[in-house]
Amino acid sequence: TGVQTCAKLFAGDEVQFGHAGAKSGGEEESAQAKNAALRDAGAIVPNAFEGLEAAITDVYRKLVESGKHTPAPDVPVRTLPEDLVAAQAAGRVRVPTNFVTTISDDRGDEPRFAGKPISDVMEKAGGIGDIVSLLWFKRTLPTWATKFLEMVLMLCADHGPCVSGAHNAIVAARAGKDLVSCVASGMLTIGPRFGGAVDGAARNFLRGKDENIPPFDFVEQAKKAGIRLPGIGHRIKSVDNPDKRVELLIDYARKNFPSTDYLNYALEVEKITTAKSGNLILNVDGTIAALFLDVMKASKMFSPAEVKQVTSIGYLNGLFLLSRTIGLVGHALDQYRLNQPLYRHQQTDVLFVNEEIGYVDEQ
């Protein structure tokens, strides 16, 4: 009611203050009359709205002094935690990160590859081999080494439509799948039997050469263990039908590498295996493996621990993966461009063996 007393300050009788639907019909219904009635009845009524705080405070103090009211103890105000973003920006807190990266950084004015500004990289890089060198190995390999990487990427980009990866990509494209799905389908065939033997071959040649195992013993050890030598053997290539890709890589290494100790060892192993069978040649996987071991040794930029790590976590298989992606994309786009229909394999090319297998208990 104290709020309504200001209505008298306005001229006329039409200005009123109150809740919705309320209307004062006369002087006895005015705010002043109501306040007077409440005061006569014993209520504490301030003269105006501004007096409410003082009146409430006075009543509360008197109740406490008279013992009629015992104040509740003050509750300590909980301190709100500082805003994390502000605290982190001011350097007062350190927040654990979800990722750790050491190869690139996109903060600042321009991206950085292995700490180098992209403008500097583009000015000095001679090709994609330099980019692979920075992003994969975090160092600038010599030109003869980056050119070798580029040769690998070019020579292994495709090997026709009949190999596992291309076949899968083609079938997926003809089934109407999108480009990413087609490439992924082809990639998933890469493994120990197709394109993924580079790491294994590198580990074997590294062990054989560094432990001074004679090539003959190296082959015999694998034979006795009943394992295939990764990097040795080809389905269609042989001594009489050599793989041109291998010849080109070896020729480049002979002319440009400071040394080819691991390649020489691999070729000595090949002499032993081809004496057993003409198709047990040093294949492209084995050649890449041996030559990259030579890159790491001849460049003198890799410690023994780093060499072991490179051959253990997929670096060299990654070269084949990166290279063959070019061909997989090409095969998928080729099928789209030719508008090829859904592929279904011919039944005449399938041997159906579906007789029930019986069990005979001889006892």
| Residues designated as active site | 19
Residues with Cβ within 8 Å of residue 154, at least 6 apart in sequence: 323
CA angle 120, 126, 127 (to 5 degrees): 105
Q: What's the token pair of residue 58?
A: 């006075």
- Looking at residue 50, the DSSP 8-state letter turns out to be G
Residues with Cβ within 8 Å of residue 99, at least 6 apart in sequence: none
Asked whether the CA dihedral 180, 185, 190, 192 is positive or negative, the reply is positive
- Alpha carbon 95 to chain centroid, angstroms: 21
- Looking at residue 252, the DSSP 8-state letter turns out to be H
DSSP per-residue codes, 255-284:
HH-S--HHHHHHHHHHHHHHHH-TT--B-H
Say if strands 116-117 and 104-105 run parallel, antiparallel, or are unpaired.
unpaired
CB atoms within 10 A of CB 179: 15
In angstroms, rounded to a whole number, what is the distance separating the alpha carbons of residues 345 and 361? 39
Asked whether the CA dihedral 243, 129, 302, 306 is positive or negative, the reply is negative
**Cross-strand pairs, 113:** 104, 116
Q: Indicate the SS3 state at residue 136.
A: helix
Q: Identity (one letter) of the amino acid at 290? A: A
Residue 168 C-beta-side C-alpha neighbours within 13 Å? 17
Residues with Cβ within 8 Å of residue 98, at least 6 apart in sequence: none
Helices 179-187 and 164-174 sit at what angle, rounded to 10 degrees?
A: 150
- Looking at residue 91, the DSSP 8-state letter turns out to be T
